[in-house]
């Protein structure tokens, strides 16, 4: 067999079918192959972090931490009222703050999947996922694409207080946060030069919707407005579009205020607002910030990992922020808004009298979401300076910190509210079975029993609270011929009520149902006819 003359061998060239010598250099893959592999691993990494966040939320949902309360049940009942009867109030029942858009979203979920506790929790989780996506979308215009992605992923899996809150319907926090971050994205676009009429109108509408949904949107909107000051001045001839859009978005706020003496926009005055500022400032740094960092557990205020955990977590946070701010490599301008938000957050927090509820991370959550972009910038720089492996280690550390915090979360302090003098039981299945067995359709109960029982019955039973009575259940129960009373069996109110009925000569039927007791007076008894304080 004759071969053509072989080519001259140079460098590491090897004849076909011949093994390469040990000294031969390894050929480098083509750039497009490297890019393709890098993108593939990036997608796998992002999908993995998203999956971890989903797993965290599933764990919360099946854990006692995911126990439904009456606050969450009110959202479910409002959604059912909208879906079946077309009724919707501007705010959560009995409140002058906290817009009803969470109930609208829940009604959409119910329309697709049917109503139930799982669907109610899923609607809240969907709002949380929307907030994370909105954070990423806004962050791309503020700190850059990769840093925004890292910040959004960090906020998705950490801290545990916000992960738990993402499965807690009833506060309008997640819908309000999502809208606030959408408004932030629109303001960032305005900051970058888009001052057209249409965009100004849309920006105003999002700001109005965010304010309607939650007053804590100001933790995001105030710094963003200051940051956009020069851009707003340049687009001042289009300011009417911004104001008109804001009026449209906040239309429920305006209508409710005009018909309720503006109770929904009145800042709590007196000595409480000003005198409480120093106390709330101290509380912000000793409680709010550690909860937002995931190093202190919401409710019990226990430090994760004890003194060592505190020191390590603070040191890690300072290091990440330092990498994000000091070693900016051209990103200094992009850090201005997150830094401004973090700087103004203590003041805006201290002006919120609701923040006096110690141990609640929700009152710092809005500003902390934007602050997560600083963490994203820090991670971006870590990836550039120290490599991807260190970045992966940082994400794993946040997940471990969140997992440890979730394991320490005190469910009795977070979901078992007083009913009224003993803890509300988490298992209401025996109560629901007894209501069906004895054909009880109308009843009175304390708040933490009433609306959860109504929602879990699918509306078959109307239970209204003695106080904080919400339509349409109060009218149905008050007009009933034989309303029952539901008590937690170990509560002193049960004995007081039965003693009063015996003294008044009112025969009753009583049925034990797990941790509850149903008392059915033979003749109609209304709470107004009982001595003050006998039931609460």
String of DSSP letters for 196-221? -HHHHHHHHHHHHHHHHH-GGGHHHH
Mean pLDDT of the chain: 87
Say if residue 254 is in the same domain as residue 357: yes
Q: What is the pLDDT, as a whole number, of residue 308?
A: 67
pLDDT confidence band for 321 (50 / 70 / 90):
low
Say if residue 370 is in the same domain as residue 475: no
Q: What is the pLDDT, as a whole number, of residue 61?
A: 94
Domains held by the chain: number: 2
Residue 48 CB coordination number (10 Å): 13
What is the per-residue pLDDT across 34-85, written as a single tens digit (0 to 9) for each?
456 667 878 888 999 999 999 999 999 999 999 999 999 999 999 999 999 9
Residues 6+ apart with CB under 8 A from 131: 174, 177, 178, 181, 369
Query: Which of 391, 414, 437 delimits the end of a domain?
Result: 414
CA distance 268 to 246: 23
Say if residue 58 is in the same domain as residue 148: yes
Say if residue 342 is in the same domain as residue 244: yes
Region of residue 303 (left: phi > 0; alpha: psi -120 to 50; beta: else)? beta
Give the mean pLDDT of 473-500. 94
Say if residue 502 is in the same domain as residue 381: no
CA distance 535 to 449: 13
**Which segment of 3-12, 245-254, 291-300, 440-449 scores lowest on mean pLDDT?**
3-12
Give the mean pLDDT of 473-484. 91
Q: What is the pLDDT, as a whole number, of residue 331?
A: 59
Q: What is the pLDDT, as a whole number, of residue 313?
A: 60
In a domain, 348, yes or no: yes
Q: What is the pLDDT, as a whole number, of residue 40?
A: 80
Q: What is the pLDDT, as a whole number, of residue 310?
A: 63
Phi, psi of 444 (to 5 degrees): -110, 150
Give the mean pLDDT of 189-210. 95
- The pLDDT of residue 449 is above 90: yes
Most confident among 14-28, 407-421, 480-494 (mean pLDDT): 480-494
Report the interhelical angle of 173-191 vs 197-213 (nearest 10°). Answer: 160
Query: Which of 383, 414, 445 delimits the end of a domain?
Result: 414
Choice between 356 and 433, residue whose per-residue pLDDT is larger: 433
Give the mean pLDDT of 274-290. 88
In a domain, 2, yes or no: no
With H, G, I as helix, E, B as strand and everything else as coil, classify residue 261.
coil
What is the per-residue pLDDT across 104-141, written as a single tens digit (0 to 9) for each?
999 999 999 999 999 999 999 999 999 999 999 999 99
Say if residue 155 is in the same domain as residue 289: yes
Say if residue 399 is in the same domain as residue 495: no
In a domain, 284, yes or no: yes
The number of CA neighbours under 13 Å toward the Cβ of 267 is 11
- The pLDDT of residue 1 is above 60: no
Number of H helices, E strands in the chain: 24, 5
| Angstrom distances, CA of residue 148 to CA of 110, 179, 381, 459 | 32, 17, 12, 43
In a domain, 536, yes or no: no
Cβ atoms of 193 and 231 closer than 8 Å: yes
């Amino acid at each position: 067999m004759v071969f053509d003359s072989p080519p001259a061998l140079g460098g590491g060239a090897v004849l076909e079918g011949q093994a390469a010598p040990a000294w031969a250099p390894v050929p480098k893959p083509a750039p497009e192959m490297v890019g393709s592999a890098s993108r593939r691993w990036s997608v796998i990494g992002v999908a993995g972090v998203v999956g971890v966040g989903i797993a965290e939320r599933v764990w919360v949902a099946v854990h006692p931490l995911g126990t439904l309360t009456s606050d969450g049940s009110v959202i479910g009942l409002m959604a059912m009222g909208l879906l079946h009867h077309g009724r919707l109030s501007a705010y959560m029942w009995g409140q002058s703050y906290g817009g009803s858009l969470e109930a609208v979203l829940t009604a959409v979920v119910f329309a697709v999947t049917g109503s139930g506790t799982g669907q109610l929790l899923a609607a809240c989780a969907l709002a949380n996922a929307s907030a994370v996506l909105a954070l990423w979308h806004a962050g791309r215009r503020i700190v850059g694409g990769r840093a925004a992605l890292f910040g959004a992923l960090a906020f998705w899996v950490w801290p545990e207080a916000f992960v738990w809150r993402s499965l807690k319907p009833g506060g309008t926090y997640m819908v309000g946060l999502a809208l606030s971050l959408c408004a932030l994205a629109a303001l960032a676009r305005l900051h970058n030069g888009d001052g057209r009429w249409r965009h100004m109108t849309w920006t105003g509408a999002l700001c109005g919707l965010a304010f309607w949904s939650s007053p804590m949107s100001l933790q995001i909107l105030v710094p963003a407005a200051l940051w956009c000051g020069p851009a707003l001045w340049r687009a001042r001839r289009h300011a009417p579009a911004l104001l008109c859009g804001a009026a449209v978005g906040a239309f429920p706020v305006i209508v409710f205020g005009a018909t309720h003496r503006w109770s929904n926009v009145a800042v709590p005055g007196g000595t409480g607002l000003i005198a409480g500022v120093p106390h709330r400032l101290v509380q912000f740094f000793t409680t709010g910030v550690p909860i937002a960092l995931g190093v202190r557990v919401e409710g019990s205020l226990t430090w994760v990992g004890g003194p060592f955990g505190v020191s390590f977590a603070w040191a890690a946070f300072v290091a990440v922020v330092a990498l994000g701010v000091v070693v900016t490599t051209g990103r200094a301008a992009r850090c201005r808004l997150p830094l401004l938000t973090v700087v103004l957050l203590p003041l805006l927090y201290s002006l919120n009298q609701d923040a006096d509820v110690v141990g609640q991370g929700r009152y710092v959550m809005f500003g902390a979401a934007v602050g997560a972009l600083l963490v994203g910038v820090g991670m971006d720089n870590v990836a550039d300076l120290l490599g991807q492996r260190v970045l992966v280690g940082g994400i794993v550390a946040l997940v471990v910190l969140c997992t440890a915090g979730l394991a320490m979360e005190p469910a009795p302090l977070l979901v078992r509210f007083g009913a009224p003098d003993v803890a509300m039981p988490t298992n209401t299945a025996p109560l629901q079975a007894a209501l069906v067995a004895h054909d009880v359709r109308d009843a009175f109960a304390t708040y933490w029993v009433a609306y959860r029982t109504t929602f879990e019955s699918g509306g078959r039973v109307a239970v209204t609270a003695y106080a904080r009575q919400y339509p349409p259940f109060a009218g149905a129960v008050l007009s009933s011929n034989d309303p029952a009373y539901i008590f937690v069996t170990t509560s002193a109110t049960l004995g007081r009520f039965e003693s009063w009925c015996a003294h008044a000569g009112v025969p009753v039927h009583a049925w034990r149902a797990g941790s509850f007791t149903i008392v059915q007076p033979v003749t109609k008894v209304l709470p107004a006819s009982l001595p003050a304080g006998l039931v609460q």
